A and B are shown apart, each in its own frame.
Chain A
Amino acid sequence: MTDAILKVEHMTMRFGGLVAIDDLSFDARRGEITALIGPNGAGKTTVFNCITGFYKPTAGMLTMTHEDGSTFLLERMDDFRITRHARVARTFQNIRLFGGMTVLENLLVAQHNKLMLASKFTIGAILGIGGYRGHEKEAVELARFWLDKAGLTARADDPAADLPYGDQRKLEIARAMCTGPKLLCLDEPAAGLNPKESDDLNKMLLGIRDEQGISILLIEHDMNVVMGISDHIVVIDYGKKISDGDPAFIRSDPKVIAAYLGVDESEAGELAS
């Protein structure tokens, strides 16, 4: 499996005089977990924001390819269209749940587009025609499936803001999955989790990859997660790619060690050996 689900080519993002991303190219391969790592301020979240349409990259091309061969140029699409048509879903570094709505409602909002069609754009459902109820039941079943995966079924009717932090992280991933994505982008999913919770998270992500066949792109600082589950790691620093390969390769790459420890490359080489 070497075909790329997402191809990032020569992407540059400037904020005024600041070059946040500088000519970055990498691939995220289909059916694999790709990790994007780098020191603080390296531009990882900016890459995410460009992929999901929250920023428009200054230059470069982002191509999303589905299994059926249809391609989407993400840099030309609005953010909500990227989720809807190109089927890229994301989570946020600082969790963005609908806190005053229940866990189940959060998962139903994620299925908005599907349900909107089913409700004939509200008009059908308000007049009671078009079988909206059946579609809503299906949506609840999908939500229940992901609640089971996240271990949150018992809390389905509680407000999302009442959940403990680790559960909120899991709920955000479940919510993103309810949009029916092909590529799931996770921005620091393990931040603030204890070791047990981060193990649970690993299992959940591997399940998403193996059982659902969804490709994952994740930003993470927790090396336990990154090294444990990634198939492929891209390292960036100051907006440039400095390394790209499998976990074993990255672990011993002097450039990566230099970037993380803040030492010269020659010294890092000695450290690695």
Chain B
Amino acid sequence: MTETAARPNRFAAALKEALMAALLAFVLASFMLGVRTVDAPGGLSYHYRPGLLAAAVAFVFFGRLFLRLVWWKDERSTPKLYSTLTEGMAKFTSGWGRFLAPAVIIGAFVLPFVASRYVLDTSILILTYILLGWGLNVVVGLAGLLDLGYVAFYAVGAYAYALLSTHFGLSFWAVLPLAGLMAATWGMILGFPVLRLRGDYLAIVTLAFGEIIRVVLLNWYTVTKGPDGISGIPRPTFFGLQFKRFGEHTFHQFFGIEYSSMHRIIFLYMIILLLALLTSYVTNRLRRLPVGRAWEALREDEIACRALGINTTNTKLTAFAIGAFFGGLGGSFFATRQGFISPESFTFIESAIILAIVVLGGMGSQIGVAIAAIVMIGGFEVFREAAQYRMLIFGLLMVIIMVWKPRGLVSGRMPTIFLGSERKQVSGDLVKEGEG
């Protein structure tokens, strides 16, 4: 009875909403789709495309109408697809979820022997971002300190390897821990002055720090060669064996196999895979130790931490240092993979992408970060054809995830210790994001 009474009303409301959406689409699309500049003799001229504009507006109008009438039947109930998806995901993670991680890791080790060069190159890139995401996750996800300048540590690691290897001939394996330590030192140097800051203020200072490092690299010509960058960075060796076609002590000669350029790629892939797994292992270990619990407590409530006798200064510094350490490892790897680095590789957009991976994946969740890195960096590659629309698709994806799951893909938090035998997650709604 009430339904029949409500029906015309509902249709009118849907129509009104669709009209509004169409109007918005018209305003936005009239510049982006309706007008196109073309090269004409004597300068640029306009080329009008009313048909395309009309099609876009009509699509938005009918699409919105359809959604309103068919999809969102009741305004208050959540869409069916959403609830089935969430339930399905929860069921999956509680049932098959525990076999997922080992399966993925085994798959990751098998991958290089079956994949093509292109897939492998992309995987190396994705793994680099997974490593960086997991590193930043310590700072942002666990300790709740918003860091917009993470790329600075990545740069420190990269330049540390590039300079130490080209000037002093140190090998990749010797520099790797050093680069991590140098980045960690810079993490502490950044950490000290900003410890009193919180939230937005902290974000701005870290942003500035990232830029300072880049500008120094750009202008300190005598050491960093400025915008020219550093080239001829040595490749990593396998216990002293080089991946070259000719020369002494080469990998294929030692093992008596045919030379293949894939060997080096597979080797690089294995290095970054192991580095990423190390990051994951160490972070998981730290979470279960007092320092990790203190990070999470800091994210939840800093004042309560101080009332419990926790030195929040040291706790924040360790979070900064450990996050930076992993960033430094990633940077070293980046330098040795590319063979060439310049300040251009360490712009703010890199920090933003890494932060986006952490936020979209779900702060504090390792699996979520890994999925987000695969989707985002892999997505970049998949949509390489549609280069023009790449940022658009990327932005759309972020908006969708933030509407659908505002706390990231995997928002729940797994407690670090249990008294009983049942292991259940803490709902993401209860976990605080931290104020910086």
Chain B residues whose C-beta falls within 8 Å of the C-beta of A132 in the assembled complex: 289
Contact with A79, one of B282, B294, B307, B418 (Cβ below 8 angstroms):
B307
Complex: A223 Cα to B37 Cα, angstroms? 79
Task: Give the distance to chain B from A211, nearest Cβ to Cβ, in Å.
Answer: 22
Chain A residues whose C-beta falls within 8 Å of the C-beta of B303 in the assembled complex: 54, 92, 96
Any A CB within 8 A of the CB of B426: yes
Any B CB within 8 A of the CB of A108: yes
Any A CB within 8 A of the CB of B300: yes
A105 contacts B415, CB within 8 Å? yes
| Docked complex: A76-91 residues within 8 A CB-CB of B | 79-84, 89-90
A157 contacts B415, CB within 8 Å? yes
Complex: A109 Cα to B416 Cα, angstroms? 11
B415 contacts A101, CB within 8 Å? yes
A108 contacts B291, CB within 8 Å? no
Chain B residues whose C-beta falls within 8 Å of the C-beta of A144 in the assembled complex: 419
| Docked complex: A123-168 residues within 8 A CB-CB of B | 125-126, 132, 136, 140, 144, 147, 153, 156-157, 159, 161-162
Please judge, given known A-B contacts A80-B311, A96-B307, whether A126 and B417 are in contact too, CB under 8 Å: no
Complex: A81 Cα to B304 Cα, angstroms? 14
Task: Give the distance to chain B from A29, nearest Cβ to Cβ, in Å.
Answer: 23
Chain A residues whose C-beta falls within 8 Å of the C-beta of B56 in the assembled complex: none
| Interface size, B (range) | 35 or more
Contact with A105, one of B305, B310, B416, B427 (Cβ below 8 angstroms):
B416
Any A CB within 8 A of the CB of B413: yes
Please judge, given known A-B contacts A112-B293, A122-B291, whether A140 and B419 are in contact too, CB under 8 Å: yes
Please judge, given known A-B contacts A83-B309, A104-B417, A105-B293, whether A157 and B301 are in contact too, CB under 8 Å: no
Task: Give the distance to chain B from A126, nearest Cβ to Cβ, in Å.
Answer: 6
Task: Give the distance to chain B from A106, nearest Cβ to Cβ, in Å.
Answer: 8
Task: Give the distance to chain B from A49, nearest Cβ to Cβ, in Å.
Answer: 10
Interface residues of chain A: helix, strand, loop or mixed (majority): helix
Chain A residues whose C-beta falls within 8 Å of the C-beta of B418 in the assembled complex: 102, 104, 157
Any A CB within 8 A of the CB of B36: no
| Docked complex: B415-436 residues within 8 A CB-CB of A | 415-420, 422, 424, 426-427, 430-432
Any B CB within 8 A of the CB of A116: yes
Please judge, given known A-B contacts A99-B430, A99-B432, A140-B419, whether A179 and B289 are in contact too, CB under 8 Å: no
Any A CB within 8 A of the CB of B352: no
Contact with B290, one of A92, A116, A156, A179 (Cβ below 8 angstroms):
A116
B413 contacts A109, CB within 8 Å? no
Any A CB within 8 A of the CB of B53: no
Please judge, given known A-B contacts A100-B426, A126-B289, A161-B430, whether A140 and B417 are in contact too, CB under 8 Å: yes
Chain B residues whose C-beta falls within 8 Å of the C-beta of A140 in the assembled complex: 417, 419
Chain A residues whose C-beta falls within 8 Å of the C-beta of B291 in the assembled complex: 116, 119, 122
Highest count of chain A CB atoms <10 Å: which of B285, B286, B290, B417: B290
Chain A residues whose C-beta falls within 8 Å of the C-beta of B318 in the assembled complex: 122
| Docked complex: B388-436 residues within 8 A CB-CB of A | 413, 415-420, 422, 424, 426-427, 430-432
Any B CB within 8 A of the CB of A110: yes
B300 contacts A101, CB within 8 Å? yes
Any A CB within 8 A of the CB of B297: yes
Any B CB within 8 A of the CB of A206: no
Please judge, given known A-B contacts A92-B307, A157-B424, A161-B430, whether A115 and B417 are in contact too, CB under 8 Å: no
Q: Which residues of B contact A (CB under 8 A)?
A: 282, 285-286, 289-291, 293-294, 296-297, 300-301, 303-312, 318, 413, 415-420, 422, 424, 426-427, 430-432
Q: Which 5 A-B pairs have the closest CB atoms?
A: A100-B431, A83-B309, A98-B300, A156-B419, A84-B309
Q: Which residues of A contact B (CB under 8 A)?
A: 52, 54, 79-84, 89-90, 92, 96-102, 104-105, 108-113, 115-116, 118-119, 122, 125-126, 132, 136, 140, 144, 147, 153, 156-157, 159, 161-162, 175-176, 179
15 inter-chain pairs at a CB distance below 8 angstroms, sorted by A residue, are: A79-B306, A80-B306, A80-B307, A84-B309, A92-B307, A97-B301, A98-B304, A99-B432, A102-B415, A104-B418, A105-B415, A119-B290, A122-B290, A140-B417, A157-B418
